[in-house]
Amino acid sequence: MKTKGKQVLSIAVILFVTVCLTYYSNLIVWNGISMNDLDKESLTVGSVRKLLEEEELVTERANSNGQQKRLPQCVIIGARKCGTRALLEFLGLHPLIQPADQEVHFFDDDRNYNRGYEWYKEHMPYSYPKQITLEKSPRYFITEKAPERIHQMNSSIKLIVLLRNPTTRVISDYTQVYYNKIAKGKDVDKFEDLVIDKKTNQINTGYRAVQISIYYNHLLRWFKFFKREQVHVVDGDKLITNPLSEINKVEQFLGLQSRVTENNIYFNTTRGFYCMRTPKTNQKCLGLTKGRKHPHIESSILQKLNEFFRPYNKKLFSLINQTFDWDD
């Protein structure tokens, strides 16, 4: 009886394993994986159960509305102080765009990058299959490794870069650092002391804010990995004065119908810039750190900055086949 009982139990176990293997083989074929790619010896009863449990977890990652987290199909790569946050918020008004709330800094931070794509995906918002997941981290623009890393993740991804008058961008960059240091009780250098090299009386090319504004140098690196049609350049100055026109161009670039209209955007006279009308909050403006008044800069320094950037701007216009009115 004991022998017969063991035989019955063995047959039951074999049948269970067979059913599990059949189910799992179908499961992995659906996911584009061949059974030949697996180590058959590792498919014990315990391992099959573990794999099935993992599949259930994958299924459960969808939220109650049937949305899932996905890697971004589009990334706003920069540039810093050119309106990346404003553009992200405006694009979030479109029902087919799901923006990430925070800057993830995946491709510019080695520690984050080494955590892998699953970690990156977990920082993305839930979305439906037809929605576009959008992320922005302005530091990508100036990070040497970022273009290749993004290309390795998705060679057909779409990129958005915002550019504004490079002189204005330097001043805006300085302004943000200025207020941040003041808030922390730290000493602040004068703008002219940072932007002018005392030895040569010329523009200090070692000043990080100046380096960021040499857009041509950075975009050269991006175009080594991406085609021009994959990169949409937004006029950051027009985004301030006429945001709707720039938003509609981005919608077109993403292959979407224009859904953001003048009903979604209004000029806030108190804040001095454009804000949003959203279904949830009715009205929404960017934080108090946005739109801060820039310090007064001597005209001679402004002239030096404009002259310094002019040759780089000309090469940029040729590179992207697009021009901006940055002479003044």
Binding-site residue ranges: 81-85, 164, 172, 274, 290-294
**Distance between CA 300 and CA 253 in Å, rounded?**
40
Q: Position of tokens 């000493």? A: 187
CB-CB neighbours of 296 under 10 Å: 7
CA dist list (Å): 80 to 30, 166, 173, 226: 43, 11, 8, 20
Known binding positions for 3'-phosphoadenylyl sulfate: 81-85, 164, 172, 274, 290-294
Beta strands, E only, 198-278: 202-203, 231-235, 265-268, 273-276
C-alpha closest to that of 86 among 250, 295, 279: 250
Catalytic position from the list 2, 40, 81, 145: 81
C-alpha closest to that of 78 among 13, 147, 32, 178: 147
**Distance between CA 308 and CA 167 in Å, rounded?**
9
Helices 299-320 and 166-183 meet at what angle, rounded to 10?
120
**For residues 18, 20, 23 and 28, what is the CA-based torsion angle, rounded to 10 degrees?**
-110
Q: Are 308 and 203 in contact (CB under 8 A)?
A: yes
Active site residue 121: no
**Distance between CA 314 and CA 299 in Å, rounded?**
22
Query: In 3-state terms, what secondary structure has residue 75?
Result: strand
Q: From its phi and psi, is residue 33 left (phi > 0), alpha (psi between -120 and 50) or beta?
A: beta
Annotated catalytic residues are: 81
